[in-house]
Structure 1
Amino acid sequence: MTIKLHDFDGEHSLTLDVGGLAADAAVVDAEHEPNGYFWEGLVRFAWPDIAERLDFDSEAGMFCAVGSPSDLVLLKTAVESVITNPEAVRDIITRAETSGFEFDD
């Protein structure tokens, strides 16, 4: 698992290298692509209170969020709790799709 907090010239970010995560099979089973854009959507749905305070710069191979150190630490804890837990990811996907949320993956 490669989830990291960064501080570069006063800009704080969190990155997650995607692919090879324990939750990938659950994402694929739900007919989504386990890329950076999917994880950005999952964060936006699952933790909207944190997501609204962040900027995102995700790409196919990496999820990236930019924001305050405190928000990024909260997000890191939240994301770590699901990327290793396929059942939690299945639950979030189901709740998101039931609510009409569309992942942009």
Structure 2
Amino acid sequence: MQPLKLVETTPGHYSLLLTAGDTPSDTAVDEAGHEPNGYFWEGMAEWLIRTRVPELDGRLKFDPEGGMFCAYGTDREALAALGSVMAEVVNAPERIGALIATAEEAGVVFDD
């Protein structure tokens, strides 16, 4: 799941975290015309849920910032599943451009 981290913030409450601007895909995200900040990664997470893991829809919440992506909730399994799917994207800069283009063609507007 690296570079994402899943932490228990308080008993029974978890956060999935990614330090934005420090990922293997940053340059590719820039080249696709986006800023690789927490808001961009929220949009990507929502797209991945919609297209790859729809069973996670409604099972977690988002609270990104400029320098950090954060998904949180009490469903550790859902957060871990999202972390695994996101790690595939974050660690595959050669695929991110096409994924962004596909999402944008489907109407996704990345709020970066």
The TM-score, its normalising length taken from structure 1, stands at 0.91
Q: CA deviation at 1:51?
A: 4.5
**What residue is the counterpart of 1:100 in the other structure?**
107
Identity %: 42
Q: CA deviation at 1:85?
A: 0.5
**What residue is the counterpart of 2:15 in the other structure?**
13
Are the equivalent residues in 1 in contact too, given 2:72–2:79 (CA < 8 A)? yes
Equivalents in 2 of 1:34, 1:21: separation in Å? 8
The TM-score, its normalising length taken from structure 2, stands at 0.86
Say whether 1:56 aligns with 2:57.
Answer: no
Choose which of 39, 43, 46 in structure 2 pairs with 1:44: 46
Describe the SS at the equivalent of 2:17: strand
Q: CA deviation at 1:21?
A: 1.3
Equivalents in 1 of 2:100, 2:24: separation in Å? 15
Q: CA deviation at 1:35?
A: 0.2
5+ long unaligned stretches in structure 2: none
Equivalents in 2 of 1:8, 1:87: separation in Å? 33
Choose which of 58, 65, 68 in structure 1 pairs with 2:71: 65
5+ long unaligned stretches in structure 1: none
Equivalents in 2 of 1:82, 1:44: separation in Å? 13
Mean CA deviation greater in 33-42 or 20-29: 20-29
Task: Give the CA RMSD over aligned residues.
Answer: 1.4
Q: CA deviation at 1:13?
A: 1.1
